Chains A and B, each alone.
Chain A
């Protein structure tokens, strides 16, 4: 495990002001190094998802400092943040979220096409490789809405991998899956972390899942209580 800092937060606070001010996150400070497999756990409503969306740059309404790849995310335009998400962050959500109009392969290719680093043929090949790595290459030409929940989640993971992101963020990736599929997905993450040194940040309340990661950040009432 190297010491290269991938993600760093300094005193992040967030509060809602409607109708009365409620502090959701209080003084969140931690950092993630390259190759770490980190789980954020905590009870429902402790602010872990809110934190994830701040870390993902999609939520910009917070106080404090967020650094991704040692670069500050404050005072960036929406367009620049979109670029950061595209290039540096891979996403896996609880509810699969594939584009139903496209095939599995095309879904995986989309972020790559958006980034535009490689010609289309190469992106197609890279997408194929990632599907293969997750053992779902036979699903490539199926439309997203023809896939089962576990298959969808694996396609979503392949999509998160397409641009070789510096970090993959997951919001309850197994929350909507049965035992068997949860295990498959967990094993994929484990393999990614250990064989490919992929940095992973997973928000989960699945204790078992969390215990098998490298590091647990436990939250309660908007604070980190244990790292």
Chain B
């Protein structure tokens, strides 16, 4: 009963100065709208940019790095056990790039429940012959189906059918940049020379565009067996095993486990792309900071308007107190005023923010480096709406707090006698 009465008084006070009220509410609406639109857009963009990287990056990569053997004889010697041994200029031993016992490892990985899928990979350094000039490049030998399902390979193939890699013998899909350099079209033959001076001719069955231009200038794909043929290696030759996990956050842990288990190097995505995470984090941070600043500015607007309202309504406050409303009641009335501005402004802000996001989503955005994107990316994450609405309530409550306290302390005697 009491609360209903307070609500009614608050409503009357609000509507008595509806222009000011509207202004305050518009302030909140504007900031929430911008907050939602900004975060949706920023997060959409982040997702897109991260996607360029994450979609094609393995969560864990198992490989053999060419490096000096860490087990040096002097370390095993009993005589020098107590000493610190300096060994300079240690050369890499004749370690092989291929993963030992790759067949068994892949079997084991397929049985692991934490693993979503694996894609074996062979990396071959080659030279593409462009007349008398050789252009360095990389041919990745891939399992087209695994690569497509795990790393969206087919999405980046702009021309040609990715499956042709498998179906057409000695075929290759060139990076767009590389193809332009070689002036190679569909169906053309390109000549490659391996590091070991073996020459090979391959038929172009497609082009791909990754969105990272530097990569497109050197990268090309061939089937698993074709690459093995180029390198003159047997059919169990695998240099990389790319693993996608069900939970990306477990990558560092599992990578350590695999390195131990398979006696190979295992790199997780977090350590390989640390700078990428930082970039996303900073962008998100900036958008939140801007959004919250907007809300705080709106909060000051409400604070000002409430303060003014209290000066104008001094008489009414005094009267309310004289006829039996306590300081707490008056305090509540002004808090109700502040929070209802917050609720109305916030809700319409959410609505307009959503509309604004829809508009941004329609703006055409075509970029050569971002295949498959036709308009600005928007992330319609309900979390933003939740944050926006709770923050609008929070700021308006804070903005109302001090004026409400001031109102509750108005001494009716001074006001009533003052005239």
Task: Give the interface size class of chain B.
Answer: 20 to 34
A56 to B5, CA, bound (A): 23
Q: In the assembled complex, how far is the CB of residue B397 from the closest CB belonging to chain A, in whole angstroms?
A: 22
- Chain B 300-325: CB-based contact to A (< 8 A → 1; otherwise 0): 00000000000000011011111111
Binding stretch for chain A, among B194-202, B231-239, B370-378, B410-418: B410-418
Please indicate which of the listed interface residues B9, B12, B326 has the most CB atoms of chain A within 10 Å of its own CB. Answer: B326
User: Which of B1, B315, B322 makes the CB contact (< 8 A) with A85?
Assistant: B322
A98 to B16, CA, bound (A): 14
A132 to B324, CA, bound (A): 24
- Chain A 40-56: CB-based contact to B (< 8 A → 1; otherwise 0): 00000000010001001
In the complex, chain A residues whose CB is within 8 Å of the CB of B419: 94-95
A93 to B321, CA, bound (A): 13
In the complex, chain B residues whose CB is within 8 Å of the CB of A79: 326-328
* Chain B, range 389-419, C-beta contacts under 8 Å to A: 411-413, 416-417, 419
A102 to B316, CA, bound (A): 11
In the complex, chain B residues whose CB is within 8 Å of the CB of A115: 324
At the interface, yes or no: B13 with Cβ under 8 Å from chain A?
A: yes
At the interface, yes or no: B275 with Cβ under 8 Å from chain A?
A: no
Q: In the assembled complex, how far is the CB of residue A25 from the closest CB belonging to chain B, in whole angstroms?
A: 14
In the complex, chain A residues whose CB is within 8 Å of the CB of B417: 49, 53
Binding stretch for chain B, among A1-9, A106-114, A191-199: A106-114
In the complex, chain A residues whose CB is within 8 Å of the CB of B413: 53, 58-59
- Chain B 12-54: CB-based contact to A (< 8 A → 1; otherwise 0): 1101100000000000000000000000000000000000000
Known contacts A53-B413, A58-B413: A82-B325 contact under CB 8 Å: yes
Q: In the assembled complex, how far is the CB of residue A81 from the closest CB belonging to chain B, in whole angstroms?
A: 8
In the complex, chain A residues whose CB is within 8 Å of the CB of B13: 101
User: Which of A59, A97, A171 makes the CB contact (< 8 A) with B319?
Assistant: A97
At the interface, yes or no: A99 with Cβ under 8 Å from chain B?
A: yes
A113 to B2, CA, bound (A): 8
Task: Give the interface size class of chain A.
Answer: 20 to 34
In the complex, chain B residues whose CB is within 8 Å of the CB of A116: 1-2, 5
User: Which of B12, B324, B411 makes the CB contact (< 8 A) with A86?
Assistant: B324
In the complex, chain B residues whose CB is within 8 Å of the CB of A159: 323
In the complex, chain B residues whose CB is within 8 Å of the CB of A56: 322
User: Which of B12, B319, B324 makes the CB contact (< 8 A) with A83?
Assistant: B324
In the bound complex, do residue B322 and residue A78 qualify as a contact, i.e. CB atoms below 8 Å apart?
A: no
At the interface, yes or no: A37 with Cβ under 8 Å from chain B?
A: no
Tally the A-B contacts, defined by beta carbons under 8 Å.
76
At the interface, yes or no: A100 with Cβ under 8 Å from chain B?
A: yes
At the interface, yes or no: A34 with Cβ under 8 Å from chain B?
A: no
In the complex, chain B residues whose CB is within 8 Å of the CB of A98: 319
Q: In the assembled complex, how far is the CB of residue B217 from the closest CB belonging to chain A, in whole angstroms?
A: 73
Closest to A90 in B: B323
In the bound complex, do residue B316 and residue A101 qualify as a contact, i.e. CB atoms below 8 Å apart?
A: yes
In the bound complex, do residue B318 and residue A101 qualify as a contact, i.e. CB atoms below 8 Å apart?
A: no
In the bound complex, do residue A101 and residue B12 qualify as a contact, i.e. CB atoms below 8 Å apart?
A: yes
In the complex, chain B residues whose CB is within 8 Å of the CB of A82: 321, 324-327, 329
At the interface, yes or no: A151 with Cβ under 8 Å from chain B?
A: no
Closest to B15 in A: A101
In the complex, chain A residues whose CB is within 8 Å of the CB of B15: 101
A171 to B419, CA, bound (A): 12
User: Which of A53, A59, A91, A94 makes the CB contact (< 8 A) with B323?
Assistant: A91
At the interface, yes or no: A36 with Cβ under 8 Å from chain B?
A: no
User: Which of B9, B323, B326 makes the CB contact (< 8 A) with A78?
Assistant: B326
Closest to B327 in A: A78
In the complex, chain A residues whose CB is within 8 Å of the CB of B323: 85-86, 91, 110-111, 114, 159
In the bound complex, do residue A113 and residue B324 qualify as a contact, i.e. CB atoms below 8 Å apart?
A: no
A100 to B322, CA, bound (A): 16
Known contacts A49-B417, A58-B413, A101-B13: A87-B324 contact under CB 8 Å: yes
In the bound complex, do residue B416 and residue A97 qualify as a contact, i.e. CB atoms below 8 Å apart?
A: yes
Show the binding face of B for A, using Cβ within 8 Å: 1-2, 5, 9, 12-13, 15-16, 315-316, 318-329, 411-413, 416-417, 419
Show the binding face of A for B, using Cβ within 8 Å: 49, 53, 56, 58-59, 78-79, 82-83, 85-87, 91, 93-95, 97-102, 110-111, 113-116, 159, 171
Listed from nearest, the 4 A-B pairs whose CB atoms lie closest are A86-B324, A82-B326, A101-B12, A101-B16
- Can you list 12 contacts pairing A with B, beta carbon distance less than 8 Å? A49-B417, A53-B416, A56-B322, A78-B327, A85-B322, A91-B322, A97-B322, A99-B319, A101-B15, A110-B320, A113-B1, A114-B329
